Structure 1
Amino acid sequence: MLDRRLFLANASLGLAGMVAGCKDPAVPLSIGAAAPALPLPDFYAEIEYRTFRYFRDTVNPLNGLVPERWPSPSAGSIAAVGCALTIWPIAVARGWIKRDLARDLTLATLRFFDSAPQGDDAEGMSGNRGFFYRMLDMKTGTRRGKAEISSVDHALLNMGMLFAAGWWTGDTPEEQEIRRLGVDIADRAEWLWMQNGGTAIARAWRPESGFGKEGVEGYGNGMAAVLLSLGSGRHPAEDGAWEAWCAPYVRYWRGEGETRHLAYGPLTGHQHSHMWIDFRGIRDTVMRGAGFDYHENSRRATYANRAYCISNPMKWDGYSADLWGIAESEGPGAFSLPFKGEKRTFYGYGPRGPLDQPGERDDGTIAATAALGSLPFASEIVIPAARALTAVPGLYREYGLLGGYNRSFRYTDQKVTTGNVSADNGWMARDYLALGQASVIIQAGNYRDEFVWKVMRKSPVLRRGLQRAGFTGGWLK
Structure 2
Amino acid sequence: MAKIKLKILVLILSTSLFYSQKPNEANVSEKIPVVGVKKGLSDEELMETVQKQTFRFFWHYGHPVSGMARERSNTVKCNYYWDYINEAWDEPNLSIGTFGPDAIAVGGTGFGIMSTIVAVERKWISREAGLDRIIQIADFLTKADRFHGAFPHFMDGNTGKTIAFGRLDDAADLVETSYLMMGFLCAREYFNQNTVKDNYLKKRVNEMWDAINWKWFTNNEKKLYWHWSPTQGFDMNFPIWGYNEALITYIMGAASKWHPIPKDAYDGSWAGATTFKNNTKYYGYELPLGNYGEDKGGPLFFEQYTFQGIDPRGLKDSLNIDYEVQTRNHTLINRAYCIENPKKHVGYSERCWGLTAGDSYKGYVAHSPATDLGVIQPTAAISSMPFTPKESMQAMRYFYEELGGKIWGEYGFHDGFHLGKNWSSNTYIAIDQGPIIVMIENYRTGLFWKLFMNIPEIQTGLKRLGFTSKSPVIKK
TM-score by length of 1: 0.81
- Kindly indicate whether residue 296 of structure 2 is the aligned counterpart of residue 271 of structure 1: no
Of 131, 144, 154, 2:163 maps to: 144
For residue 353 of structure 1, the aligned residue among 365, 368, 388 is 368
- Percent identical across equivalent pairs? 28
SS in 2 for 1:155: helix
Return the match for 1:153 from 172, 176, 179.
Answer: 176
Residues 283-322 of structure 1 aligned to structure 2 (within 5 Å): 283-286=316-319, 288=320, 290=321, 293-322=322-351
What is the distance in 2 between the residues matched to 1:318 and 1:232? 46
Report if the CA contact (8 A) 1:221-1:269 is conserved: yes
Q: CA deviation at 1:195?
A: 0.7
- Note if 1:87 corresponds to 2:105: no
Cα offset, 1:247, TM superposition:
1.2
Residue 467 of structure 1, CA deviation: 0.4
Q: Secondary structure at the match of 1:303?
A: helix
Alpha-carbon distance in structure 2 between the residues aligned to 1:232 and 1:242: 14
Which moved further from structure 2: 369-378 or 72-81?
72-81
Q: Are 1:404 and 2:416 matched, yes or no?
A: yes
* Matching residue of 1:253: 279
Query: RMSD of the TM alignment (CA)?
Result: 2.0
Structure 1 outlier segments of 4+, above 6 Å: none
What's the CA shift string for 1:24-47, capped at 9, x where partnerless?
A: xxxxxxxxxxxxxxx834222111
Q: Match for 1:368: what amino acid?
A: P
- Uncovered stretches (5+) of structure 2, i.e. residues with no partner: 1-24, 76-99, 291-296
What is the aligned partner in structure 1 of residue 445 from structure 2? 449
Q: How far has the Cα of 1:61 moved from its partner? A: 4.7
CA deviation after TM superposition for structure 1 residue 368, in Å:
2.0
Conserved? CA contact 2:26–2:62, under 8 Å: no
TM-superposed deviation, 1:64:
2.5
Distance 1:400 1:66 in 2: 15
Partners of 1:40 and 1:199 in 2: how far apart?
47
* 1:204 aligned onto 2:227: yes
Q: CA deviation digits over 1:399-431, x for unaligned, max 9?
A: 1111111223x3xxxxxxxxxxxxxx2x21031
Q: Is the 8 Å Cα contact of residues 68 and 109 (structure 2) preserved in structure 1?
A: yes
Q: Distance in 1 between matches of 2:360 and 2:209?
A: 34
SS where residue 424 of structure 2 aligns?
strand
Give the secondary structure class of the aligned counterpart of 2:365.
coil
Q: Distance in 1 between matches of 2:229 and 2:344?
A: 41
* Alignment-derived partner of residue 49 in structure 1: 52
**Structure 2: how far apart are the matches of 1:136 and 1:331?**
24
Q: Secondary structure at the match of 1:181?
A: helix
1:41, 1:451 → 2: CA distance? Answer: 16
Question: How do 1:102-141 residues align onto structure 2 when only pairs under 5 Å count?
Answer: 102-116=130-144, 126-141=145-160
In 2, distance between residues paired with 1:261 and 1:321? 23
Contact 2:106/2:153 (<8 A) preserved: yes
| Secondary structure of the corresponding residue to residue 76 of structure 1 | strand
Show CA shifts across 1:173-226 (max 9, x none).
Answer: 111011122122122111111111212110122344222222112111001101
Q: Partner residue of 2:69?
A: 66
Given that 1:284 and 1:471 are in contact with CA atoms closer than 8 Å, whether structure 2 keeps it comes out as yes
TM-aligned CA deviation for residue 148 of structure 1: 4.2
- What is the total number of aligned residue pairs between the two structures? 407
Q: 1:473/1:437 Cα in 2 relative to 1: closer, same or farther (>3 Å)?
A: closer
Partner Cα distance (2:59, 2:455) in 1:
27
In the aligned structure 2, how far is the partner of 1:5 from the partner of 1:213? 46
Structure 1 position 476, deviation (Å)? 4.7
Do 1:165 and 1:180's aligned partners in 2 also have CA atoms closer than 8 Å? no
Report the counterpart of residue 98 of structure 1 in structure 2. Answer: 126
Corresponding residue of 1:341: none
Contact residue 271 and residue 374 of structure 1 kept, 8 A? yes
| Contact 1:242-1:469 at 8 Å conserved across structures | yes
How far apart in 1 are the matches of 2:214 and 2:46?
43
TM-score (norm: length of structure 2): 0.81
Say if 1:261 and 1:297, in contact at 8 Å, map to a contact too. Answer: yes
2:249 alignment partner in structure 1: 225
Could you say which residue in structure 2 is the equivalent of 1:395?
Answer: 407
Displacement of 1:92: 0.9
Give 5+ residue unaligned stretches, structure 1: 17-38, 117-125, 334-347, 356-360, 411-424
Q: What's the offset of the Cα at 1:152? A: 1.2
- Is the contact made by 1:219 and 1:262 (CA closer than 8 Å) also made in structure 2? yes
- The question of 1:323 aligning with 2:348 is answered no
Shift of 1:8: 4.4
The answer on whether the counterparts of 2:32 and 2:56 sit within 8 Å (CA) in structure 1 is no
User: Which whole-Å CA distance do the structure 1 matches of 2:181 and 2:454 have between them?
Assistant: 15
Q: Residue 406 of structure 2 contacts residue 424 of structure 2 at CA under 8 Å; is this kept in 1?
A: yes
Residue in 2 aligned with 1:12?
36
Question: Which residue in 2 is equivalent to 1:190?
Answer: 213
CA deviations 1:421-456 (Å, max 9, x no partner) are: xxxx2x210310111110110011111111111111
SS for the counterpart of 1:259 is strand
Do 2:65 and 2:157's aligned partners in 1 also have CA atoms closer than 8 Å? no
How far, CA to CA, are the matches of 2:396 and 2:332 in structure 1? 15
State the Cα distance separating 1:71 from its structure 2 match: 3.1
1:278-328 CA-to-partner distances (Å, cap 9, x unmatched) read 121121112x2x5xx213211111100000001111111121111111001
Whether the 8 Å CA contact 1:266–1:351 is kept in 2: the answer is yes
Code of the residue aligned with 2:398 in structure 1: it is A
Q: Structure 2 counterpart of 1:240, which letter?
A: D
Deviation for aligned residue 1:251: 5.1
Give the direction of change, closer, same or farther, for the CA distance of 1:138–1:115 in structure 2 (3 Å limit): closer
Q: Assess if the C-alpha contact under 8 Å between 1:368 and 1:401 holds in 2.
A: yes
Paired residue type of 1:131: A
